[in-house]
Structure 1
């Protein structure tokens, strides 16, 4: 598979505008404890990519929020994060406007690439502009956290060191890299993984310097998923010869990092053809923020 589509804003038909919803990788993920409310304390690094979904938006004057077709098969409209994001912004801003929403899915659901969270963030950020509701980044990030722990990083649009449940974000400068990404095609509910008796929940907290030195690369979910899901173990075996294979999020997506595009493309060419694999590049700045700055509306 190629690199997917361009991630620029595109206008298609009367009133429609299209906005990028980039994917992310977790370069590592540790679980350092569990809070009284049942949420787990995490440490991770979020890295944004130049590949992802696209969100189409068209402003409605009647205040209705309407999703055109499911963004994830089987998810009811009222439960869809893109619809919930629009409703949350509408409520917080008291806007009388509505929106039609289209989701062009490229990010596999349940792969740990952040598709649903990124889609929701793009709806918040783009409708804030299109509705002229004027919320600042912090206000949008607070709304985002109400939708899910991974949503704020996409609103802020920068690579970040993450703590808490994933919402305490420190911007991080990372060297340019290219990634071979693989979707093993299995989807294990995150809640089920968190209940796994062999999940390490008490990792010693680390510092940004530990990550920067290259000593911190593990993902707490990796050993659990590799034991439990033969398809994921098979991907790790296939990737083993080309570098350090890692898991993103709570799975099932896997990746290997490369310093050059050519090295990543060469590794991709050597993978078994039956694997769903592709190359994506890192970005310092979310394509969504780039789109905001180039619309001319800002």
Structure 2
């Protein structure tokens, strides 16, 4: 790593718990959730340019370059800071689109923190999270870089310490539309709010995802993966899906489960983390 280049992780997240406690007048939903990072995700390579240009490679299928959250984050940071530097940005994409793992939001957060370092801006995490929120509700948790209890649309964050088991994550081969799930008539929207302390006291066996029943109904491949995996280990949907995850005590258990999955679905194993690996690399 030099002053002019950076290679940074953009980790996945899981929603260990997701409750929908109301719907706002603007159509957004009020949530309560527990975010946790994984030691698996995308990688973003950044090289500083002196000419102010921003170049991103490669293009993602179905995503226009200027609509990519990495480019939007980079242009927003340029505009808000008045910085005249640019960057070459190259993404190694591992996380599936529409998977509920926060890939686009994590990429945006890594771009914000990475360019802040590359350009020597010195902005606070609070300011970078504020910019990130304008890009997406999940961006701030990746900017702050700690497992968190989230409320509001997921942007009001309180750091927490969660257990750090192994997870096996299955991608059922479909992309779930988040607006489609949140717009579904049958979605549970009035789960009674609970305190963070009560959620943590109940622990993982009591946690659930209010989107799961709706996603099951709308996306049969997700339902199939949930049924198969839950017969073998405690299993849940993350976010609005499509990915589903099983919690396992030992890495050997995760390896054994991956062996059963081989050839059936795309899947990976990962360790749960309370601190983002992005912050470890940057020393934030």
Q: Give the TM-score, by structure 1 length.
A: 0.91
SS at 2:256's partner residue?
A: helix
Cα distance in 2 between the residues matched to 1:27 and 1:50: 15
Q: Does 1:241 align with 2:231?
A: yes
| 1:247-292 Cα distance to aligned partner (Å, 9 max, x none) | 0011100001112212222222233532111110011211100110
Q: 2:99·2:176 contact (CA, 8 Å) conserved in 1?
A: no
SS at 2:193's partner residue?
A: coil
Give the corresponding residue for 1:282. Answer: 272
Q: Does 1:251 align with 2:241?
A: yes
> 1:90-105 maps to which residues of 2 (within 5 A)?
90-105=78-93
Q: Does 1:18 align with 2:1?
A: no
Q: 2:36·2:148 contact (CA, 8 Å) conserved in 1?
A: yes
| 1:218-262 Cα distance to aligned partner (Å, 9 max, x none) | 112110111221211110121122222100011100001112212
Q: How many residues align?
A: 282
Q: Give the TM-score, by structure 2 length.
A: 0.95
Give the corresponding residue for 1:7. Answer: none
Q: CA deviation at 1:92?
A: 1.4
Q: 2:33 aligns with which of 9, 34, 44?
A: 44
Give the corresponding residue for 2:97. Answer: 109
| 1:83-116 Cα distance to aligned partner (Å, 9 max, x none) | 0101111111111101111110011111000000
SS at 1:242's partner residue?
A: coil
Q: 1:228 aligns with which of 218, 225, 231?
A: 218
SS at 2:13's partner residue?
A: strand
Which residues of structure 1 form unaligned runs of 5+?
A: 1-9
Q: 2:133·2:155 contact (CA, 8 Å) conserved in 1?
A: yes
Runs of 4+ in 1 over 4 A off after TM superposition: none
Give the corresponding residue for 2:181. Answer: 193
Cα distance in 2 between the residues matched to 1:257 and 1:122: 26
Q: 2:4·2:118 contact (CA, 8 Å) conserved in 1?
A: no
Worse overlay, 49-58 or 208-217: 208-217
Q: 2:49 aligns with which of 60, 65, 69?
A: 60
Q: CA deviation at 1:148?
A: 0.3
Cα distance in 2 between the residues matched to 1:66 and 1:278: 30
